[in-house]
Amino acid sequence: MSRPQREVVFVDGVRTPFGKAKGQYAETRADDLVIKSIRELMRRNPSLPPERVDEVAIAATTQIGDQGLTLGRTAALLAGLPQSVPGYSIDRMCAGAMTAVTNTASGIAFGAYDVAIAGGVEHMGRHPMGEGVDPNPRILSERIVNPDALVMGKTAENLHDRYPTITKQRVDAYAVRSQQKTKAAYDAGRIQPDLVPVATRSAEAGWGLATTDEPMRPETTMESLAGLKTPFRSHGHVTAGNAAGINDGATAALLADEETARELGLPVKMRLVTYSFVGVEPEVMGAGPIPATEKALRLAGLTIDDIGAFEVNEAFAVQVLAFLEHFGIADDDTRVNPYGGAIAMGHPLASSGVRLMNQLAASFAERPEVRYGLTTMCIGIGMGGTVIWENPHWNGLASNGADS
């Protein structure tokens, strides 16, 4: 059989507002966060007949309790999608939703699907990282993996060792800017369109409604950050202020074959160019985005200079700065995370990949001079993932939109 080349497009993406662990979603189920995201996606795209969804891939790092039971399938059923729509669960730690996107996108490109839903959830308040894990004793006995690999904060301190020029001052300054950019983005109404409000149950206080990211601390200053403890290493660098927190939230995106999208009258917000996942030393997992991006650029036949918009997950400020330093990009380059990032908004592990894509899509719409952008993130147990996207709104005027 002949296999025509099919372009994969990002039609739309939504997410719940993110919560602080034990905060606004303390009495809300993880699967309900996913279900509300899927329903919002379908509500926003009424021209998509629900039975045309060919797959629902939902990621979660801890797949037990309300994040278990083949979440992609059960969430699809509970969201009211037809019984004929299948689903499954995915785990690639922090890059769960990103992997859900690349998996289903690959299926679309291959011709197995026309339309897919990809997303992720992590309710870290209910499922703290490492819940119920049973690490193989060989990790210690045979020193196959440095035990630091299982403690993300330690891997971030290790990254500081690798990049001694990234000082405490620089990571804190980056964190303050992230908070300020997110505040500005909210004030300008740039984040809200991505959000689906979530009713929050509280037995004590009654029902409420989550409409914004709970973790934000716009009042953060260099001074307030300077006093925070460095829990992973005494006199270290990594604090609660220059890292993403422990968060709850879910995301969902709609992907489609480009021709199908046009046939169904669905919007095209981004076009997938390529993606890559690459492994690194597990104890320095924050370095992962660097080789992942190099590989993706190579696959795409692009250079870093062709990229006009970056959405880099801010698991740790040091991991963003290591990436920027490697590629010779300034700490405060306006192409990078223009709306702020996970340090301010939160990082509910497996959900974050689609948040990055939502924001890159918003950047694309705002900046037609940009042709290519990328979303990248570091991944626990030593990996990086990068997805390169093309801007369908590109006006052909400038090559990369760099403001230099």
Partner 1 sequence: MSDIFDRAAALVSDAERVTQAHLRTVALPGVTFGLITLDNGEDHTKPNTFGPGSLLALNEAIDAALADDTIDAIAVTGKPFILAAGADLVSIQGGGPDAVRVVGELGHATFRKLQDGGKPSFGLINGLALGGGLEVALHCTYRTVMDSAPALGLPEVMLGLVPGWGGAWLVPNLVGADKAVTLIVENPLNQGKTLGGQAAYELGLADAVFNGADFLEQSLLWAASVVRGETTVSRPAIDRGEAWDAAIERARGIVAAKTGGASPAAAKAVELIAAARDTDRDTGFAAEDDALHAMSQTPELLASLYSFDLVQKRAKRPAGAPDRSLARPVTKVGIVGAGLMASQLALLFVRRLEVPVVLTDLDQERADKGVAYVHAEIDKLLAKGRISQDKANRHKALVSGETDKQVAFGDADFVIEAVFEEMSVKKTVFADVEKVVSPACVLATNTSSLSITEMAADLEHPERVVGFHFFNPVAVMPLLEIVRGEATDDATLATAFATGKTLKKTSILVEDSPSFIVNRLLGRFMSEVGRIVDEGTPVSVADGAFAGIAPMPPYQLLSLVGPAIALHNVETLKGAFPERFYVSPALERLVAARKSGYYGPDGQLDPSVEELLEKPASPVVLSAGEVRERTLSGLAEEARLMLDEGVVAAPQDIDLAMIAGAGFSFWNGGLTFMLDVLGISEKVSGQRFH
Rounded-to-integer distance, Cα 397 and Cα 320, Å: 29
DSSP string computed for 127-192: S-TTTT----THHHHT-SS-GGGG-HHHHHHHHHHH-TTS-HHHHHHHHHHHHHHHHHHHHTTSSG
Nearest distance in Å: CB 254, partner 1: 17
Per-residue b or e along 361-382, where b marks 16 or more CB atoms closer than 10 Å to that residue's CB: bbbbeebbbbbbbbbbbbbbbb
Coil, strand or helix at 399: coil
Nearest distance in Å: CB 341, partner 1: 25
Q: Are 93 and 103 within 8 A, CB to CB?
A: no
- What is the contact surface with partner 1 in residues (CB under 8 A)? 32, 35-36, 39-40, 78-80, 196-199, 201-209, 211
Provide the 10 A C-beta neighbour count for residue 306. Answer: 18
> Facing residues of 94 across strands?
92
Considering the complex, state which of residue 1 and residue 203 has its C-beta at the smaller distance from partner 1: 203
Nearest distance in Å: CB 61, partner 1: 24
Considering the complex, state which of residue 198 and residue 309 has its C-beta at the smaller distance from partner 1: 198
Active site residues: 94, 347, 378
307-312 and 115-123 strand pairing: unpaired
Nearest distance in Å: CB 206, partner 1: 3
Nearest distance in Å: CB 126, partner 1: 17
Q: Position 319: which residue type?
A: Q
Considering the complex, state which of residue 199 and residue 222 has its C-beta at the smaller distance from partner 1: 199
Considering the complex, state which of residue 195 and residue 324 has its C-beta at the smaller distance from partner 1: 195
Considering the complex, state which of residue 32 and residue 314 has its C-beta at the smaller distance from partner 1: 32
Coil, strand or helix at 385: strand
